[in-house]
Structure 1
Amino acid sequence: MSGRVSGKVAMVTGGASGLGAATSKLLVEEGARVVIADINLAGAEQVAAEINKAHPDMALAVELDVTSEQQWQDALETAVGFLGGLNILVNNAGIGGSAPVEDETFENWKKIQAVDLDSVFLGCKYALGHMKAHQPGSIVNISSIAGLIAGHNMGAYNAAKAGVWLFSKSVALHCAKRGYDIRSNSVHPTFIRTPILEGLFAKTTNGEEKLAKQVPLGRIGEPNDVAYAVLYLASDESRFVTGAEIKIDGGISAM
């Protein structure tokens, strides 16, 4: 532990698995206390237990449906009560989608926007009220390379993640205009080894190999590739970085 976020307090959504779990663990390893929020409470509690076994009393699990305005308010109150404040918010919870516009249903479109975009709005709106009392602060919103580069069969997902990208900039400018020492940035991963991606591998032949061929570096990413970017943005190392985006895409966006 080098203490890159020592003394800070964080809330991570979608923390029960994948990127959220990796980020929660890394933030604690670097000195932060973390509330792990997820609609899958049992999964969040398991991650918190793993963390607390190595770092006692540094993590707490809370149940959160990120599409619920009331649950956001309740979860933040619980988080602030446990942590004694809030410096860092990581909006990580999200779902995927892969249907072309003519095949997409309006119901599924609305679900993807609710989970992937509306949740980020709700998190930022209600977290700022707490973070203003515990500055400096950092909001890190997990978007996707699909928020910057479109796909023919990803209309709903492209729209939601692009919204996260530009909304993060709006929040950054809002905080700067109000004189808050709170920054807002977005992170844009490509294919990362998570339970969702591994589920796709199981359904196709040579799935990982096919995805890796699309990446200039020739491999898919690991959860900590994203977690370390979040750590940087959450830490005081990035105190002059706001309204920015970090691409973690193995070079895809450079092509």
Structure 2
Amino acid sequence: MKLAQKIAIVTGAASGIGLAIAKRFVEEGAIVAIADLKEDAAKDAAADLSRRGPGKAIGIAMDVTSESEVNDGVAEVVRQFGTVDILVGNAGIQIVHRIEDFPYEEWKKLLAIHLDGAFLTAKACLPHMYKQKSGSVIFMGSVHSKEASPLKSAYVAAKHGIVGLARVLAKEGGPYGVRSNVICPGFVRTPLVEKQIPEQARDLKISEEEVVKKVMLGNTVDQQFTTVADVAEIALMLASFETNALTGQSIVVSHGWYMN
């Protein structure tokens, strides 16, 4: 097993991409803390994954925009299991508006969850990784870490910022054996994306079918959504990679929508 007895924290993991990553890690023998704003959902997901094994999971409450909650959550994982080997910063939301109509409070909320959350969770985990001279930090970016789309100014700004944060972390963490990388999925049909379809149809004044075919999948090579399983496999590869040969990178998983 690729992650036998490795200790991982995955944020926003009670559902969607985060849950798929947690499941894949447990399948490879990891002990996974499912950290989510919804504590009951996190604990239910953890119980289900633990029954499947061979690894196990626990659920913890965590608001990634709260430094105290992040620090307390990481401290609890370390108290129970001794360290943190892998961090997957996955928590995120989507809010869409034209720039001139974007409420500042909503702008700040989105950036806080994506960018502040990535910073705070990494800050809390790094001392434990540095102490043991090893670790893997994986941030969830997006094709929008590379590209822009109308209505998504806050999301695009946050996802570009995450790539910059990961690159700095890779430089600082390299001497301690800590790698930092970003996964950049294309459109994955999660509840987050489902919510966007009618919103973009309204704001762009096109049909929901056109949103899917033209806006979301129009630039892919096969008009297919990326799957949570696709993203989970990349997360497993990054988590289990053993050297600094792969660090500071942003890996796009998008059916060819964006090509480096």
Give TM-score, length-normalised by structure 1.
0.92
Do the aligned partners of 1:187 and 1:229 also contact (CA within 8 Å) in 2? yes
Aligned-pair distance for 1:100?
Answer: 1.7
Aligned to 2:182: 186
Identity of aligned residues (%): 35
1:147-205, Cα deviation, whole Å (9 max, x unpaired): 110122111111011000111000100112xx201100111111002122234457764
Aligned to 1:58: 56
One-letter code of the match for 1:236?
Answer: F
Cα pair distance change 1:159/1:38, threshold 3 Å: same
CA distance in 2, matches of 1:217, 1:241: 28
Query: Root-mean-square deviation (CA), in Å?
Result: 1.8
1:80-131, Cα deviation, whole Å (9 max, x unpaired): 1222211000000011121121111111111111001011111111110122
What are the residue-to-residue correspondences of 1:92-241 with 2, within 5 Å? 92-176=90-174, 179-200=175-196, 205-206=208-209, 208-210=212-214, 211-237=216-242, 239-241=244-246
Unpaired runs of 5+ residues, structure 1, are none
2:69 to 58, 68, 71: 71
Cα pair distance change 1:84/1:171, threshold 3 Å: same
Cα pair distance change 1:202/1:108, threshold 3 Å: closer
CA distance in 1, matches of 2:254, 2:20: 18
One-letter code of the match for 2:232?
Answer: A
CA distance in 2, matches of 1:212, 1:47: 30
CA distance in 1, matches of 2:133, 2:124: 15
CA distance in 2, matches of 1:247, 1:236: 17
Unpaired runs of 5+ residues, structure 2, are 200-206
Aligned-pair distance for 1:208?
Answer: 4.3
Aligned-pair distance for 1:46?
Answer: 1.5
Aligned-pair distance for 1:135?
Answer: 3.5
CA distance in 2, matches of 1:194, 1:135: 36
Do the aligned partners of 2:29 and 2:55 also contact (CA within 8 Å) in 1? no
Figure out how many residues of one structure are paired with residues of the other and give that number. 251
Stretch moving more, 66-75 or 81-90: 81-90
Aligned to 2:253: 248
- Secondary structure of the 1:186 match is strand
- Secondary structure of the 2:180 match is strand
1:10-63, Cα deviation, whole Å (9 max, x unpaired): 000001100100000000101111000000111111210110111277110000
Aligned-pair distance for 1:132?
Answer: 1.9
Aligned-pair distance for 1:239?
Answer: 4.6
- Secondary structure of the 1:28 match is helix
CA distance in 2, matches of 1:39, 1:159: 23
CA distance in 2, matches of 1:124, 1:173: 14
